[in-house]
Amino acid sequence: MNRYLLPLGVFILLLVFLGVGLNLNPHEVPSPLIGKPAPAFNLPALDNPAATFAQKDMLGKVWLLNVWASWCVACREEHPLLVEFSRTGAVPIVGLDYKDARVDGMRWLQDMGNPYQTVAFDAEGRVGIDYGVYGVPETYVIDRQGVIRYKQIGPITPEILRDKVMPLVKELQK
């Protein structure tokens, strides 16, 4: 009997490892930017090429930077939640329209509602690269000092908003 215990133990251990591995999402690569200052940028606004938005305009405030695009399917899924959430006024949301056409981006906001305080327009995706964006939508929680505290890869769900984003924002706003 004893001689079967060891292989059985090893087998169960292997199953546990495989099980954990299967439940990890390989597309969620931890960002090296967490705990670091948000990369500087200065971009034209989506609705007005003459106006600009820089990340340092938000210093002193806790804010969300939501990277989206009109061509992004998952953003469509996320957007109503952002619109609803922005009505609570809990935290300012800034949009970053990533690799998009100006007309398409503006039409999207007209059709789906605009949850953003400002939308910066990143036509070439260079700011996206500085922020390590690789799967739109992505959302960053940035604190008063301009440090990135959290990054959500993929759409925000009501659960993530309730359990992760809001507690963190409240903590940072204290």
Partner 1 sequence: MKRLITVLCLLPVLACAKEATPMAQNPEVEARVMALATELRCLVCQNQTLADSHSELAGDLRREMREMAEKGMSDKEIAEFMVNRYGDFVLYRPPLKPTTWLLWFGPFLLLAAVGILLLRYLKIRRQRLATEGQLTEDEHKKAEAMLQNSGDKA
Contacts with partner 1, residue ranges (CB under 8 A) = 26-27, 29-33, 99, 124-126, 129-132, 134-135
**From CA 159, how far away is CA 98, in angstroms rounded?**
25
CA 138 → CA 18, 27, 141, 156, 173, distances in Å? 28, 12, 10, 8, 21
Q: Give whichever of 33 and 81 is closer to partner 1, judged by the CB atom.
A: 33
- Minimum separation from the CB atom of position 8 to partner 1 (A): 16
Q: Give whichever of 100 and 143 is closer to partner 1, judged by the CB atom.
A: 100
Q: Give whichever of 36 and 144 is closer to partner 1, judged by the CB atom.
A: 36
Tokens 């990143």 correspond to what residue? Answer: 122
- Minimum separation from the CB atom of position 145 to partner 1 (A): 19
- Minimum separation from the CB atom of position 41 to partner 1 (A): 13
**From CA 105, how far away is CA 11, in angstroms rounded?**
53
**From CA 139, how far away is CA 130, in angstroms rounded?**
14
Q: Give whichever of 53 and 131 is closer to partner 1, judged by the CB atom.
A: 131
Residue 64 host element (H or E): strand 63-68
- Minimum separation from the CB atom of position 33 to partner 1 (A): 7
